[in-house]
Amino acid sequence: MKLPISKRLLACAAFVEPGQRVADVGTDHGYLAIYLLQSRRASRVLAADVAEQPLARARENARRFGVREGLSFHLCDGVRGLPRDFDVLLMAGLGAETVVGILRSGPWLRGGRYRLVLQCQSSQNELRQYLSEHGWEITREEPVRDGKFLYTVLEAKPGCQSLTPGQHFASPALLASGSPLVGEYLAFCRQAVEKVVLGLTGLGGPKYEYYSAALKELREMEAMR
């Protein structure tokens, strides 16, 4: 039986270095946790979710696909109550607001030992801004296409990084990735920001200035490619 794992989750798995211990927070069906152990990318996975139903589904999927050793299940709210014996905190398929809330609840994550692998479904600019303003450095980011949708997966480590408004939408690591999808991703971001600026035209204020600055930078990024 073949594990039904998406290209988006496979891209997340590629950010895990072989042998690492992973906390998969928001595990849902557990496919990513199962794949990490089946492929031996991870030596251990802590599969966590805030609700019992997803965890029950993940347990059943682990049984179906014959994964027992190295996998533990945890009913917890983000990282609250989660054992800390892992190397990578992986969150995939969550919104930026949820991810930021989980990171806020675990200031100990910035202690230097942990690495983040994050894939957000929405408001990725807000996630990048939060990371840069709260002791994280985006060290790697790559776009991935899954069906008709375009996502990015990023890696962050404790560090110091200042990002401009435009870089909140496209980080230096993303631009340096060399992926052929970067141009398309930039166009997507630029078009989204154009709509926001158009809606704010005539109103002025900090929000208009922020998005106008981001739009100028995104256009410059596109022109340089």
Q: What is the pLDDT of the chain when averaged over all its residues?
A: 96
Q: Where are the domains of the chain?
A: 7-163, 164-225
Nearest-Å Rg of the Cα atoms of the chain is: 18
Query: What's residue 204's pLDDT?
Result: 82
**Beta pairing class for 136-146 and 149-158:** antiparallel
Query: What's residue 137's pLDDT?
Result: 98
**Residue 58: strand, helix, or coil:** helix
Domain spanning 7-163, CATH class: alpha beta
Contact 90, 32 (CB under 8 A): yes
Contact 83, 46 (CB under 8 A): yes
**Bridge partners of residue 73, in order along the sequence:** 47
Q: Based on the number of CB atoms within 10 Å of its own CB, is 1 exposed (0-12), middle (13-18) or buried (19 or more)? A: exposed
Residues in CB range of 224: below 8 A, 6 or more apart: none
Distance (Å, whole) CA 73 – CA 140: 28
**Residue 148: strand, helix, or coil:** coil
Other residues' Cβ atoms within 10 Å of the Cβ of residue 18: 9
| Ranges of the chain whose pLDDT falls below 50 | none
Q: Exposure string (b/e) for 157-184, b if CB count within 10 Å is 16 or more?
A: beeebebebbbbbbbebbbebebebbee
Query: What's residue 195's pLDDT?
Result: 97
Instruction: Output the pTM of the full model.
Output: 0.95
Distance (Å, whole) CA 97 – CA 86: 23
Query: What's residue 212's pLDDT?
Result: 97
Residue (of 161, 163, 151, 168) closest to 211 by Cα position: 168
